[in-house]
Amino acid sequence: MDFDVIVLGAGIVGVSAALHLQDRGRRVALVDRRAPGEETSFGNAGLIERSSLVPYAFPRDVGTLFRYACNRSTDLYWDYKALPGYASWLARFWWESAPRRLDAAARDMQPLIGACVAEHDKLIARAGLADLVEARGWIEAFRTTAAFARAVEEADHAAREHGLHVNVLDGAALRASEPAVGTDICGAVHWADPKSVRDPGALVKGYASLFERGGGRLLIGDATTLRASDSGWTVQTEHGVLGAKDVVVALGPWSDLVFAPLGYRIPLRAKRGYHMHYRPARAMPSMPIVDSERGYVVAPMTGGRLRLTTGVEIAKRGAPPTPIQLERVEPLARAAFGLGERIDRTPWLGMRPCTPDMRPVIGRALRHRGLWFAFGHNHHGLTLGPVTGRLLAEMMTGEPTFTDPSPYRPERFG
């Protein structure tokens, strides 16, 4: 079975890349060990985050660092057994989070963030998935007046500088618009430009169905069997060996299982996170709400479910799940946003593929002909999937790119 391109990874990034390559006349096979949208793309908070202008950085204030060091935070938990493997990555992350370098990362990410909603909208319309998407934005909620005041200043600046639509809500106004919110919350910033998805996994499956309707092949296979051949690349699937001139590695947090044996030393690490679904004990929120000072999200999902997603867990990739983060935030979320009884039997565990400089890896791998990378989208894989797919397809087919791809080049890590 011969194709022009094999895309390894059927999450939002891989599916989007496959669609954009198909649109440009390439015969594409999409290969994953599971069905589309069943790993990292399945379990997020469902935000298409147009307002995320500054990447999530390593905190530099002493108070937050002390709280993290004590390992009792609601937004971060770390397993001491994982720290040796993360030490150099965390050091680079801290260095890249200095104000001047963080500003540079924000500038580099702006072209992708700025186009994220428009690129999703095109695929949503083609795939007939509008019923999964809400255009109401999201709410950033605060517990203390000091944090709320700082957020209002930052939101006003973002609105002026980037043309974003922002509404400031005091506690009374917030509860009038969102009756589920309790008195723990003193105010909020409503970011109106983003969109939200009520079933992220279903959205990815819908994009994959669009790919198949266009003649693409979706196959179960093992990405670690990737091998260079005289004519390009081969990979083993349950239907036999596939061959193609070009291959795209879009395996999210598992991308290193392919690029590392090929000799690439890209500092990719996974930040783990959990979700659980609940029945609402009060009214269902109309849009996702972030408890900014406690580091979790509550988001309305299909089927009358309220999804609680946690912050970051630093742990080895194969380490068993822990209940710690959910146990810490569940009482807070129950009081603040009216969580009812749990629906899921066990929490879902996922992994966010992260680079220390807070930029994804998109582009050609220079030491191997026909090898392309698209991974490392940090906390914004769902947001950036379609726009990444477009940029990568433009690069692979020799079209003019809609933005300069050099900030995302694989070789920036040496």
Structure tokens at 364: 């050609």
Structure tokens at 195: 């969109």
Contact 142, 148 (CB under 8 A): yes
Structure tokens at 130: 């509008």
Q: Taking the domains of the chain in order of start, what are their residue ranges?
A: 1-52+97-131+198-267+355-414
DSSP string across 298-318: EEEEGGGEEEEE--EEE--TT
| pLDDT-based confidence at residue 414 (cuts at 50, 70, 90) | confident
- For the cut 90, the answer to whether the pLDDT of residue 1 exceeds it is no
CA 390 to chain centre: 17
Cα-based angle 247, 205, 286 (whole degrees, multiple of 5):
130
3-class state of residue 10 by DSSP: coil
Number of H helices and number of E strands within the chain?
A: 10, 21
Query: For 54-97, what is each residue's pLDDT tens digit?
Result: 999 999 999 999 999 999 999 999 999 999 999 999 999 999 99
Helix, strand and coil content of the chain, in percent to the nearest 5, comes to 40, 30, 35
d(CA 219, CA 391): 24
Query: For 28-58, what is each residue's pLDDT tens digit?
Result: 999 999 999 999 999 999 999 999 999 999 9
- The CATH number fitting domain 1-52+97-131+198-267+355-414, selected from 1.10.3720.10, 3.30.70.330, 3.50.50.60, 3.30.300.30: 3.50.50.60
Give the predicted TM-score (pTM) of the model: 0.97
CA 160 to chain centre: 26
- For the cut 90, the answer to whether the pLDDT of residue 168 exceeds it is yes
Compute how many other C-beta atoms are within 10 angstroms of the C-beta atom of residue 256: 21
Structure tokens at 24: 């440009």
User: At 221, which helix (H) or strand (E)?
Assistant: strand 217-229
